[in-house]
Chain A
Amino acid sequence: QVQLVQSGAEVKKPGASVKVSCKSSGYSLTNYAIHWVRQAPGQRLEWMGWIDEGTDKTRYSQKFQGRVTITRDTSASTSYMELSSLRSEDRAVYYCARGNYFDSAGYYFDYWGQGTLVTVSS
């Protein structure tokens, strides 16, 4: 069955970077995009960006442009999201999600990782 398993919780200092991994199983990473979504405590879901399934092309939310980098290693079936210049407001649960393309709507997210809590504290 399809599964996305993320790396464990992280605690980082302000200004540092964090890299979260997302290992996919039960399907080929080259057939589906991977999107990253975050959720601050008590807040709504917030889309961060995605990596294309066939070309490795990436696109990021304007909010995170310049701070976020999404990559993947198809041989390891693993995707990564790195966020730099961390600040306290970046404390959130970060999710990876498999993107399924739907005509007239772009992607929807049919499978999600379990989430990774990133805490930013001095």
Chain B
Amino acid sequence: QSVLTQPPSVSGAPGQRVTISCTGSSSNIGAGYDVHWYQQLPGTAPKLLIYGTTNRPSGVPDRFSGSKSGTSASLAITGLQPVDEADYYCQSHDSSLVNYVFGSGTKVTVL
């Protein structure tokens, strides 16, 4: 089982706002470790979307934003577009495992 838990899927109509949650524990997100997010289009390598919980790399649209509270983090996509259909993964550090851990992944569908 994943150390970081995400909903298997979320969906929304074009233009809508969707959020993806990433629930951890006191040994990872709750310990104060930042969260990073990746987008994976079908058949391709993951792409960095958000780093340090809230920061967007150059070239990532500002429609994507991240936040964190307690033992959970969230990725929000506003103005949903068909090109956003992909799998999304959160990632953090876990002090009990002394490892880097990924979330279970969320498939975003644009209706």
Residues 35-69 of B at the A interface (beta carbon under 8 Å) = 35-36, 38, 45-48, 51-53, 57
In the complex, the answer to whether A105 meets B99 with C-beta atoms within 8 Å is no
A111 CA / B98 CA spacing, docked (Å): 22
Given known A-B contacts A102-B34, A104-B33, A105-B35, A110 and B57 have beta carbons under 8 A apart: yes
- Quick one: CB contact mask for A83-122 with B, threshold 8 Å, 1 for yes? 0000000000001010010101111111111110000000
In the complex, the answer to whether A44 meets B105 with C-beta atoms within 8 Å is yes
List, in ascending order, chain A residues with CB within 8 A of B52's CB: 102, 104-105, 108
In the complex, the answer to whether B36 meets A108 with C-beta atoms within 8 Å is yes
| Tally of chain B residues near chain A (CB < 8 A) | 28
List, in ascending order, chain B residues with CB within 8 A of A59's CB: 98
Partner of A108, one of B32, B48, B97, B105: B48
When C-beta atoms are compared, the residue in chain A nearest to B47 turns out to be A112
List, in ascending order, chain A residues with CB within 8 A of B33's CB: 104-106
A-B contact pairs, 9 of them (CB 8 A): A45-B89, A46-B102, A102-B51, A102-B52, A104-B33, A105-B93, A108-B51, A112-B45, A114-B45
